[in-house]
Structure formats: structure tokens, C-alpha cells
Structure 1
Amino acid sequence: MNSINKFWMDFCQKHHVNPGELEGAYAFGGNSQDADVLSDLINRGIKTATTSVYDPDEDVPTVGQYAIVLNGENKPVCVIRNKTVEIMPFKNVSAEHAYLEGEGDRSYDYWRKIHEKFFAWECRENLNTIFSENTEVVCETFEKVD
């Protein structure tokens, strides 16, 4: 059993959770340095939201599902549980959501600048599309469970 599976099974036992409620295990951000910073913000309860480009070929996260947050070395840091999931055009993401993402100075301007750059790269490199204000994104809020 690898460390991620063991982490999840220990969590399920401790919290009386069905192991099938795991959405997945993933690192936030585009590289290991981002993953370390963002997993730390989540673990400390500062980051309670995330936004990603909507990919119609992938499953949309579900309210109530659990996920394991990984650091830059793909080691489990904590478990989160989705509270809300919404799909909307990038231009409609609120300042409140940007603040909940917990990054930088937590301002909407900071959030927008960082995410426009990252989403433009992601659309070009991974989705073979061009990012715009109307690109649909998935906005999630979550709580750290353990």
C-alpha cells in the first residue's frame, strides 16, 4: 500500500468515512513549488477555494466529496471536502472567491493577474484552446477536514 492509500485509509477509519467518497489526490498549482505553497495555505486554513479551467472531458467535482491535498513531493498533507462547486465564465468570478483562494495579498487584482497567466498557459498547452474572459472555469470552495 502506498503512502497516499495508507493516508486515506487511516483518515476513513478515524472519521468513519466510506473509502469510495474520495474524489482524488492532487497537488494544486503548476509545479512542485506552487504545490508546496498552496498545500501549506490549505493546511493552515487560509486557502479555502480554488478555480480551474472547465474541461468537458473530465468529471466535475461534486459537493461533499473528499480529496487528498498533495505537496510538491506528491506526499499527502491534508484532506479537504467540497462545499460548493460552480461553473461560470472567468469574467464572473467574484472578489470574494478570489479572497478565499488565499493567495498573494488576497486581492481580486492579484488573483486575476496570476490566474489569467496560468489559465492562458493551461488552455494553450493542455486543452488546445485559447483562454478568454468567457472561458468557463470551475469554482470550488472547500473545508479542511484533517
Structure 2
Amino acid sequence: MTNDKAIQAFWNDFKKRQGFTHNNYQAWAFGNTPDMADELADLVVKGIKTATTSARELYEKGEPLPQVGEFNMILDGSGDPVAMTRTVVVETLPYRLVTWEHAWHEGEGDRTLAYWRRVHEAFFKQEYAEAGVTFTENMPCVCEVFELVYKKGD
């Protein structure tokens, strides 16, 4: 569930502050539960979480991959906007080759690769199962690094 009116107001405020005239942004929440969305959005707002990973094979047909320079509005578990990020790096690689550095930038748990693998494997196994496919360590991951450029209350 998203709060379309709050999303538009948040974007308009950010756009005005930046002097933008375009409306090129995506609005989304992390994870698959409201609690997870709240937790991860909070890490973004605090500047701890500066990366994310998605399963390339689970993108909808025709859905574009993240692109360097694009803006993303991060939503909390209630669908309300809390931050704007700008993508600075995008690379696709097999799950088994995701690095400790990317895990650190994801900012979750103790920020180790072991923690990242434990929680992401569980997450991806569930997502793949729901899509009717099997997770493997060779699954292509879209690894995105971003910078926090604006947050609620700025």
C-alpha cells in the first residue's frame, strides 16, 4: 500500500529544492513485509544502508534494471516516503560472487558477508519459490549502490 498524495508531495518538495523540472523517479519499499521495509528504510535514513540487491530473473518482463543516476524514493512499511537516493553503481553478477564490500554497503546486521548470505539466501529462496523457480548460487543478482540525497525532515 502506498500513500500517493504523500509520495507526490515529497517528490515535489525534493524537486523544488533541487531545481528539477522532470518527474523521473521510482518509489518503492525494501523487502517483503512492512516491518522489513521500516527497518531497512531507517538504515537508509541513517546513512548506513547504501546498497541493495535484487534477483535479476525475478524482474517483470520489460521492467528496466536500475540505472546509474536515477532517483529512487524509499518508502516505509506504511507506504510513506522517507528518503530519496541516487543510484551510483549497478552491476549484475552471480549470487556466489557478491563481495564483502557490497554486503557492508547493504548495512544490515553485523554487515559481514556471512550475515548477508544468510539473510539474502532465505529471502531469495522464498521469492524464487513464490515465482515457481529454484534458487541457486549462480542466480544473477543486480547489485546497486546508492547515495542518500534527501530525507524526510530536511
Please give the range of the TM-score, normalised by the shorter of the 2 chains: over 0.9
Alignment match of 1:12 (pick from 12, 15, 38): 15
For structure 2, the residue ranges without an aligned partner over 5 or more in a row are none
* Identity level (%): 43
Deviation at 1:29, TM superposition (A): 1.1
For structure 1, the residue ranges without an aligned partner over 5 or more in a row are none
Deviation at 1:93, TM superposition (A): 0.5
Equivalent in the alignment of 2:111: 106
Task: Give TM-score scaled by structure 1 length.
Answer: 0.95
Pair 1:69 & 2:71 matched: no
Pair 1:51 & 2:50 matched: no
Q: What letter corresponds to residue 49 of structure 1 in structure 2?
A: A
> Number of matched residues?
144
Task: Give TM-score scaled by structure 2 length.
Answer: 0.90
Q: What letter corresponds to residue 8 of structure 1 in structure 2?
A: W
In the alignment, the residues of structure 2 paired with residue 18 and residue 51 of structure 1 have an alpha-carbon distance, to the nearest angstrom, of: 30
Q: What letter corresponds to residue 148 of structure 2 in structure 1?
A: K
In the alignment, the residues of structure 1 paired with residue 136 and residue 73 of structure 2 have an alpha-carbon distance, to the nearest angstrom, of: 30
Q: Deviations over 1:61-105 (max 9, x none)?
A: 110000100001000001000000111110110000001000000
Equivalent in the alignment of 2:6: 3
Q: Deviations over 1:32-77 (max 9, x none)?
A: 0001110000001000000010135221011000010000100000
Alignment match of 1:128 (pick from 117, 124, 132): 132
Q: What letter corresponds to residue 41 of structure 2 in structure 1?
A: S
